[in-house]
Amino acid sequence: MRQILAPKVEYRPVKNSQNLPQAFLERTLDMLHDDEHEAFLSACITPLRKSIRVNTLKISVPSFLERVRIKNWILTPIPWCSEGFWIDREEKEREEIPLGKTGDHMMGLFYIQEASSMLPPRALFHRETGIHSVLDVAAAPGSKTTQMAAIMGNRGVIIANELSGSRMKGLYSNIERLGIRNTVLCHSSGEHIGERFFEAFDAILLDAPCTAEGTFRKDRTALQYWSEKKILAAARIQKKLIRSAFEALKPGGTLVYSTCTLSSEENEEVMHSLRETYPEIVEFVPLHALFPKCESALTEDGFLRIWPHLFDSEGFFVAKIRKKIIQKQQRTETHKNEKRFPFTPVPRSRRERVADYYFDHFGFDLSSFGERLWERGNEVWLFPEDFRSLLGRIAFDRIGITICEIHEKGIRSSHEMAQNFGSHFSKNCLSLSSEEAEGYFSAKDIPLKERTGDGEVLLTFDSFPLGFGRIMEGRVKNSLPRAVSRNDIKFQAG
């Protein structure tokens, strides 16, 4: 049985609390007892511990723990996420190699994620079965999308929506790096999502944009422009978003609403507003059994209000509701996307050509992909399960992953193919040293001393796939996409 250890917290004196806005201090004092308010203020001025989530799509938790034990990383379990850990490393290593520049991070073995941020996905799937379709209303940068994909084992389909176009690139980058293939990316206003996807999803996560009061420990500027006026403005948007998300939820489905703020206007009042709007079909689902000792964060309605001092984390709020099944609601008119869908199913003959190539060249059987293979021009794509029911609702930015490109001279594999299925290849794999792996991500070719032949080769480090190269003229020509290349990654064998 996995032992849950309560974090040992030693807070500094509250002498720096004057850095917080006075109105904010007074509001929180009204919400907490005097002794607890002192602990809260002390937590606010204590640096936030680093935390990570093991990506179980690529490595098991026991294997990861053994791998980092050799690196002398100290991991402390996070109570509400079996894949989550607070992490501590030697000071010299922290200074020389930030977590985001380690080879293990680049290979997608873990995701840097604040501990409280791991709560909403866990709440959404807690004691639920039959979740095949999920909507993440505000997905970037992908912390919760990638966590849900891991919980689902890359099965089903997740619509990862993001209003900000500038944040879509980072969202896709994280999805690609972690080897996720059951997502569909779209760029739409969350306020209209209910019209587009009326009662289309088994589960919905709305991690709403907020005033971010709870992030002060990580970002000292979070409260720089704080005001009660901004709280009320944020609450108006949140109420629109949750009504829209609720419209997109199937009867019997569950919705989790979360914020990284502490104000009741942006949290409890948003939930109560939803129940007042739909009194017959909104059911609050208590989260009292989500993790050990969570009762200290439980509200009267069964929501979780995670104060920073309770579990030595960011401030967070999590609420879960279920849409009751009653007499069928009148279906609202959904807007159809008139733009022609640019993909067509891959014909059987081309499917067989692709399947033969991967079986003969890499020893990998993809015949089970079947009708999930679609094409656009010379590109072959693998789409998520059950995506067809969502077609025509909205213009999607990206569906699933690319497998390869088919050319007259042969097949060229995609980087996503390596990230998702490279660990299953049994032939034409070349293991790289630390120096060679760092050179590969610096967009350098790899010299060959003994190997002969030509064609594609999967490059690996410690048996984990890095990407593809092509053997030619005594070297491996680098096939890493330019957007992925980095010259600051440090690899260390596990």
Known catalytic residues?
A: 260
Residue 455 pairs with which residues in a beta bridge? 471
- Judged on CB neighbours under 10 Å (0-12, 13-18, 19+), 490 is middle
Q: Please report the sign of the dihedral spanned by the C-alpha atoms of residue 134, residue 137, residue 141, residue 143.
A: negative
For 116-175, the DSSP string reads GGGHHHHHHHTT-----EEEESS-TT-HHHHHHHHHTTT-SEEEEE-S-GGGHHHHHHHH
Peptide bond just before 141 cis, omega within 30 deg: yes
Chain centre distance of CA 15? 37
Q: How far apart are CA 13 and CA 27, in angstroms?
A: 21
Q: How far apart are CA 122 and CA 245, in angstroms?
A: 19
Please enumerate in sequence order all residues whose Cβ is within 8 A of that of 361, keeping only pairs 6 or more positions apart, or say none.
Answer: 427, 428, 455, 456
Token digits for 401? 């992953």
Gyration radius of the chain's alpha carbons: 24
